Structure 1
């Protein structure tokens, strides 16, 4: 009596199982790695804005301090966005007819703020305070990258939990002297105090910076 299956059925079954396992592993790999790619986290992406503001021009070119526009970065949880009046401090005198700046002039005339598209954002369940990070010696560049070299603002870090936890476990390497906090071109030199000395200077230590309640309140 002939068998129900041909001899080749074993080979076909093994090949099918192998394909199934490969597809399963590929799917699991995609599920795990895809959200962690720069594409998914939008790192390096430039968002369209009402006005193509250039930090490279204003910061590196003109020498504006971060706090000229982000006035509350040392005082509150948010860094703050500049009021249109801040922009018009200069642009009521220069580039007064530039088509590029028409949204700024319209905002000023209508007393309506410019609605910027957020480049850096954290989930609502994450508590972050700009002022305490500045007070403890973390410069803007650690999170936002060298914005002074950005012709158009882009996201520099993923802001995944691991990014924050790594810094909270070992904050020393991200600390800098007070006079360098807003210097977008600053880098460590032989004269820079070592991380341990900066941690002592800013009174960092003795508290569990990786406790859940630090960021989730």
Structure 2
């Protein structure tokens, strides 16, 4: 019988199998790297030169986030506190604590403390802190319950898909501007009548929000989204400038 196919075609099935294996391994590897905590750094908890328990300073002592991160609501980039900020308190409080020796040494020499960055946006992404916190996006949304962390760690993925989830559905994250730095805030804390008196309610709402016992996150978010005319960009130029 005549051979209708050239001899090299005998290798085609094997080549297809090899290609399929390579593609499957590539996809598995990419998923393992880019879609897991190894890439997003969830749980990343570096050792800092000075232990700073946020739970004590924020929850127990009631310090506002902006006392240390004083640029967060006025600038694109938030700041790490300088030694002067620490020494405003620690010249009197725990002034002989050995754990604070690096702070005292920095104060004497003028050499900054070399804090280890945890939440650091990559260079090709533009992120404006002030634009977010001044329009109802809390520290909690991006950093988690820092006020209950003895040691700060990476609690959110900060991936592109994670950011887009908020940009596409901001109503799921918005809160009143006076609660942005209250990391324990919950939608049920809102008094409906007071909220409606201040912000109104969506024009297409079927119910009178002021007469409800509680408002949901969606109801609060939709109200603020319309009130503040929030329409976050979802195209590339929004973050990659």
Report the TM-score when normalising by structure 1. 0.85
Paired position in structure 2 for 1:11: none
Cα distance in 2, alignment partners of residues 56 and 19 from structure 1: 54
**What secondary structure is seen at the aligned counterpart in 1 of 2:99?**
helix
Task: Quote how far apart the aligned CAs of 1:194 are.
Answer: 2.1
Aligned residue number for residue 103 of structure 1:
102
Q: Which segments of structure 1 move beyond 4 Å, counting only runs of 4 or more?
A: 17-24
Alignment match, 1:203? 229
> What is the distance in 1 between the residues matched to 2:125 and 2:174?
22
Name the stretch that deviates more: 26-35 or 84-93: 26-35
Residue 184 of structure 1: how far off its partner (Å): 1.1
State yes or no: 1:87 paired with 2:86.
yes
Give the Cα separation in 2 of the matches to 1:194 and 1:28. 40
User: Are the structure 2 counterparts of residues 20 and 150 from structure 1 closer, same or farther at C-alpha, using a change threshold of 3 Å?
Assistant: same
Q: Closer, same or farther in 2 for the Cα pair 1:30/1:94, shift >3 Å?
A: same
Relative contact order higher in (CA < 8 Å, ≥ 6 apart): 1
Is residue 216 of structure 1 aligned with residue 215 of structure 2? no
1:140 aligned partner: 139
Instruction: Report what 2:163 is aligned to.
Output: 164
Q: Are 2:175 and 2:220, in contact at CA under 8 Å, matched by a contact in 1? A: no
**1:140 and 1:184 in contact (8 A); partners too:** yes
Hey, what does 1:9 align to over in structure 2? Answer: none
- Taking the TM superposition and a 5 Å limit, the aligned residue runs for 1:111-150 are 111-150=110-149
Q: What do the CA deviations read for 1:43-87 (whole angstroms, capped 9, x no partner)?
A: 112111111111111111111000000001110011111111111
Is the contact between residue 72 and residue 130 of structure 2 (CA under 8 Å) also seen in structure 1? yes
The answer for unaligned runs of 5 or more in structure 1 is: 1-13
For 1:162-205, what per-residue CA distance to the aligned partner results, in whole angstroms no more than 9, with x for missing partners? 01111111111110011110001111112465221011222213
Give the alignment of 1:8-157 within 5 angstroms.
25-157=24-156
> C-alpha displacement at 1:135, in angstroms?
1.4
Q: Specify the SS of the correspondent of 2:187.
A: coil
Deviations 1:75-125 (A, max 9, x none): 001111111111111111121111110000001111122111110112111
How far has the Cα of 1:20 moved from its partner? 8.3
| Whole-angstrom CA distance in 2 between matches of 1:145 and 1:123 | 19
| Unaligned residue ranges in structure 2 (runs of 5+) | 1-12, 189-213
Q: 1:23, CA displacement in angstroms?
A: 6.7
Distance 1:185 1:45 in 2: 22
